[in-house]
Structure 1
Amino acid sequence: MGTLPDETRTATLEAFADTIVPGARRHPGDRAVAGASPTGGAVAAGAIELIEWDATGISEDLTGYARSLDEHARAFAAQRGLTLDGDAPAFVALPFEERTALVRALTAPGHPEKSLWVLLALFCYMAYDSAAHLNTADALAAGHPGLTAMGVTPPGPDGLWRYSAWSYGRPLARLHPHTTASGSPA
């Protein structure tokens, strides 16, 4: 199995991430990001950066993921009588609705590779909903699409998060009488 060009691997993985959390195209000729949403999705949130992070445990296998996804896309297209454009990796060449149908099949109960595809999908979603690969304050300052969409508030000027109202609408307990001004127990 030869090597896969980096741009092919990246485009295929971006198309997968965009299928999990769709986003706006980055430019008019963008094929990996289908433009199924008017706002930034997983790709804009840094899904590729997150899955390439060695802390995920899957970064060494990303070429295999991309190769397998393209193989599944070719078989899926043949099964449905679709002709794929040879100017793009097979998964990227699928129309967005067909990408979605393929990912649904790969992550369905009983699919022999389900756990692999669900794992990749979880990391793509994690980039969007938690920016796990970024400092939260920095991500918010840069306008991270997921954190912004969820309404995560930025920290105060000192870099700390404080909330004027308790999440339950009341304090959960009275402060211990020996608690210091910094919040530490005495």
Structure 2
Amino acid sequence: MRRIPERKVDIGPDATITLEAYADTIVPGEKRWPGDRAIAGVSAGGGAVASGALDLLRWDATGIHDGLEDLADRVNDHARAYADKAGLTLDPAVPPFVSLDYDERVRLVQALTAPGHPEKDFWVLLSLFCNMAFDSAAHLHTAEALAEGHPGLTAMGITQPDADGLWRFQDFGYGRQLADPHPDTTPTGSPA
């Protein structure tokens, strides 16, 4: 299968860790190492970050790739304001959003994605892409993602393709075959 040429945007370390923390808030996973500040570690197994959320966000096919630094700055500004209002002390060693504990991150993301928030569209879109990395591996070829043990596809029970790279299912979704294949269907399953 020929892959579409892609361009991935480079982002700085503060934007990277901030967007990782955002992605982990959307689909949490386990820490990558004991001192991991981006991943809160509230779930077992890999979450959005381990599923490649940053690769998907940085991919030019998303259309948000060029605005990632700005989104990271914006969520950090919101985290600063949230912390001030809640009387929280932020750790200056990491970006403000990363400094929030998981529950505070969740509350902030809920506020940003709530109906009526003036920037809701940005945060919903960012959240959808983080979720997409986990539940569809849109930035990867499905067979390759499965071969590498993609956390989301594995968690959903997506099976490996047959040896020829095609998926065939022994059981019908409704417990029975609903229709016969069209007589002109090729052996690969394509219509003639």
Q: 1:30 to 1:184 in 2, by over 3 A?
A: closer
Other-structure match for 2:4: none
Q: Distance in 2 between matches of 1:35 and 1:117?
A: 22
Matches within 5 A, 1:13-92: 13-92=19-98
Map Cα deviations across residues 37-74 of structure 1 (whole Å, 9 max, x no partner). Answer: 01100000000000000000000000000000000000
Q: Distance in 1 between matches of 2:191 and 2:119?
A: 51
Q: Does 1:154 align with 2:160?
A: yes
Report the alpha carbon displacement of residue 184 of structure 1 after superposing the two structures with TM.
Answer: 6.0
State the identity %. Answer: 62
SS in 2 for 1:15: helix
Matches within 5 A, 1:165-180: 165-176=171-182, 178-179=183-184
Aligned length: 181
Other-structure match for 1:130: 136
Q: Does 1:94 align with 2:94?
A: no
Q: 1:179 to 1:100 in 2, by over 3 A?
A: same
SS in 2 for 1:148: helix
Q: Distance in 2 between matches of 1:40 and 1:24?
A: 6
Q: Distance in 2 between matches of 1:146 and 1:185?
A: 31
Map Cα deviations across residues 74-122 of structure 1 (whole Å, 9 max, x no partner). Answer: 0000000000010000000001100000000000011110011000000
Q: 1:164 to 1:37 in 2, by over 3 A?
A: same
Q: 1:65 to 1:174 in 2, by over 3 A?
A: same
1:22 is matched by which residue type in structure 2?
P
Q: Detail structure 1 runs of 4+ shifted over 6 Å in the superposition.
A: none
Q: 1:159 to 1:175 in 2, by over 3 A?
A: closer
Q: Distance in 1 between matches of 2:181 and 2:62?
A: 39
Q: 1:181 to 1:64 in 2, by over 3 A?
A: closer
TM-score by length of structure 2 reads: 0.90
2:159 is matched by which residue type in structure 1?
T
Q: CA RMSD in A?
A: 1.5
2:151 is matched by which residue type in structure 1?
P
1:28 is matched by which residue type in structure 2?
P
